[in-house]
């Protein structure tokens, strides 16, 4: 059996990865080793009755024994360890959730329902670096796979509404702590009073901006607010998260850079889990809602078309409904009133910890186990 090292297993992505691997019996097909950057030698997870002891994620010798490494540890870890491991002569396969190496020419971005042919070609060509895509892009492409396969997209403007857990474990804890902080300062009388609501609104607004509000991780309140910047400032008006939109979309699809222009704004919202994206699509021709729905549902089994009406949209096309599900929702499809051009709006909602992160990694592991 292949020796598989798992790093970052207790983080936000890693814990969902483990949950999915257990659900799908993936551990029956590998000899697993768990690593830590912070608790070497401590007890790790217990899986199928087997207790694992944590190995040192910074030990090149300990890592070099692995045939395959899956890491959900983060970009800084990847940037420091991967080059050392390669310099050490390691010939194994590296599967990564972090963005650090996505645009590296040695890397294939993995999203097999959309680009399985690219993945197979990469393995045949000796590529050993496989990286999960940006969560928002991945989920949008999962929703739009049918239109991509039909070569119908001319350009896209993608406005994202990204959840707190997309930033990692300590960030989602902070959002919940912000909520708890506000609740803690409100009395039952204030919540149920039948008088003017303005005193309550004013008090909560003051609490949101007060010094007691926990904002150490995000740097700004998210509960009752939005944060209109994700990742670093590229200095040209774009965040790095926004830049990834076009760069990764084209790379995932195996297209030359800029073939499908993608632009937009990436916004952090006070959602626990699931990223949404309101997408404006310029199509190459008119596509009716019936044809759109057919293209979407025929593309792969992990997408749900939600008809563009209020009842179904508010019940089936929300993070609250989709959280924890492998189904990506797509709906609100309508033609925009812009010069009668084939420009449409659409909303995708998907669990960024599943198809946006963990699922492509565990599927890549299984693709490799069947090929090498």
Cα dihedral across residues 337, 308, 143, 17: positive or negative: positive
Backbone angles phi, psi at 307, to 5 degrees: -55, 150
User: In angstroms, what is the minimal distance from the CB of 256 to ligand NAP?
Assistant: 25
Does position 141 interact with ligand NAP (CB under 6 A)? The reply is no
Count the residues in the chain: 372
User: In angstroms, what is the minimal distance from the CB of 249 to ligand NAP?
Assistant: 15
Per CB under 6 A, the segment of 5-13, 120-128, 205-213, 248-256 that binds ligand NAP is: 5-13
Does position 14 interact with ligand NAP (CB under 6 A)? The reply is yes
Does position 165 interact with ligand NAP (CB under 6 A)? The reply is yes
- Assigned token pair, 189: 């009388």
Does position 135 interact with ligand NAP (CB under 6 A)? The reply is yes
Cα 357 to chain centroid distance, Å, stands at 5
The correct pick among 4, 6, 12, 227 for binding ligand NAP (CB under 6 A) is 12
The correct pick among 146, 166, 264, 329 for binding ligand NAP (CB under 6 A) is 166
- Assigned token pair, 266: 């990436």
Would you please indicate which residues are annotated as catalytic (active-site) residues?
Answer: 135, 275
Per CB under 6 A, the segment of 212-220, 259-267, 311-319, 351-359 that binds ligand NAP is: 351-359
Query: Which candidate, 29, 84, 30, places its Cα nearest to that of 62?
Result: 84
Per CB under 6 A, the segment of 33-41, 123-131, 201-209, 210-218 that binds ligand NAP is: 33-41
Does position 357 interact with ligand NAP (CB under 6 A)? The reply is yes
List C-alpha distances in Å: 329 to 72, 142, 158. 25, 9, 16
User: In angstroms, what is the minimal distance from the CB of 110 to ligand NAP?
Assistant: 12
Does position 19 interact with ligand NAP (CB under 6 A)? The reply is no
The correct pick among 68, 98, 182, 247 for binding ligand NAP (CB under 6 A) is 98
| Contact predicate 175/272, CB 8 Å | yes
Does position 63 interact with ligand NAP (CB under 6 A)? The reply is no
Per CB under 6 A, the segment of 250-258, 281-289, 327-335, 350-358 that binds ligand NAP is: 350-358
Per CB under 6 A, the segment of 3-11, 222-230, 243-251, 317-325 that binds ligand NAP is: 3-11
Query: Which candidate, 61, 71, 85, 79, places its Cα nearest to that of 17?
Result: 71
Does position 8 interact with ligand NAP (CB under 6 A)? The reply is yes
Instruction: List alpha helices for the chain, DSSP H.
Output: 12-23, 60-64, 75-87, 112-124, 135-149, 169-184, 188-192, 198-208, 240-252, 289-299, 310-316, 319-322, 359-371
User: In angstroms, what is the minimal distance from the CB of 163 to ligand NAP?
Assistant: 8
Does position 72 interact with ligand NAP (CB under 6 A)? The reply is yes
Residues 244-273, interacting with ligand NAP (CB under 6 A) = none
Cα dihedral across residues 169, 144, 112, 252: positive or negative: negative
The correct pick among 19, 24, 56, 75 for binding ligand NAP (CB under 6 A) is 75
Q: Indicate the residue whose CB is closest to ligand NAP.
A: 11
List C-alpha distances in Å: 138 to 101, 243, 320, 341. 16, 14, 19, 27
Q: How far apart are CA 202 and CA 200, in angstroms?
A: 5
Largest CA distance in the chain: 72
User: In angstroms, what is the minimal distance from the CB of 98 to ligand NAP?
Assistant: 3
Q: How far apart are CA 356 and CA 242, in angstroms?
A: 16
Interface residues toward ligand NAP, by CB under 6 A: 8, 10-14, 36-38, 57, 72-75, 97-99, 135, 165-166, 168-170, 352-353, 356-357
């Amino acid at each position: 059996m292949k020796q598989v090292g798992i790093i970052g297993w207790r983080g936000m992505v890693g814990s969902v990865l483990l949950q999915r691997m257990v659900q799908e019996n993936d551990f029956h097909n590998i000899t697993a080793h768990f690593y830590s950057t912070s608790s070497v030698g401590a007890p790790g997870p217990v899986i199928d009755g087997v207790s694992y002891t944590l190995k040192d994620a910074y030990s090149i010798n300990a890592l070099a024994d692995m045939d395959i490494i899956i890491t959900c540890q983060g970009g800084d870890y990847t940037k420091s360890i991967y080059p050392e491991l390669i310099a050490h002569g390691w010939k194994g396969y590296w599967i990564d959730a972090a963005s650090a190496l996505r645009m590296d020419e040695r890397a294939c971005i993995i999203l097999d329902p959309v680009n399985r042919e690219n993945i197979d070609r990469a393995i045949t060509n000796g590529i050993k670096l496989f990286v999960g895509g940006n969560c928002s892009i991945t989920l949008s492409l999962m929703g739009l796979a049918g239109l991509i396969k039909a070569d119908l997209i001319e350009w896209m403007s993608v406005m994202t509404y990204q959840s707190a857990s997309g930033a990692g474990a300590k960030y989602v804890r902070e959002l919940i702590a912000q909520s708890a902080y506000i609740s803690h300062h409100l009395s039952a009388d204030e919540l149920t009073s039948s008088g003017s609501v303005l005193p309550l609104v004013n008090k909560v607004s003051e609490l949101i901006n007060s010094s007691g509000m926990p904002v150490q991780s995000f740097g700004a309140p998210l509960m009752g607010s939005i944060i209109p910047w994700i990742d670093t400032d590229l200095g040209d008006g774009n965040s790095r998260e926004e830049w990834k939109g076009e760069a990764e979309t084209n790379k995932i699809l195996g297209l030359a850079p800029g073939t499908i222009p993608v632009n937009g704004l990436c916004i952090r919202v006070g959602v626990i889990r699931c990223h949404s994206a309101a997408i404006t699509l310029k199509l190459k021709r008119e596509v009716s809602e019936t044809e759109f729905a057919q293209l979407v549902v025929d593309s792969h089994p992990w997408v749900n078309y939600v008809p563009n009406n209020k009842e179904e949209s508010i019940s089936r096309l929300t993070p609250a409904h989709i959280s924890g599900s492998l189904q990506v929702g797509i709906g609100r499809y309508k033609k925009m009133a812009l010069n009668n051009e084939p420009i449409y709006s659409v909303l995708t909602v998907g669990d960024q910890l599943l198809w946006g992160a963990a699922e492509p990694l565990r599927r890549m592991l299984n693709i490799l186990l069947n090929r090498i």
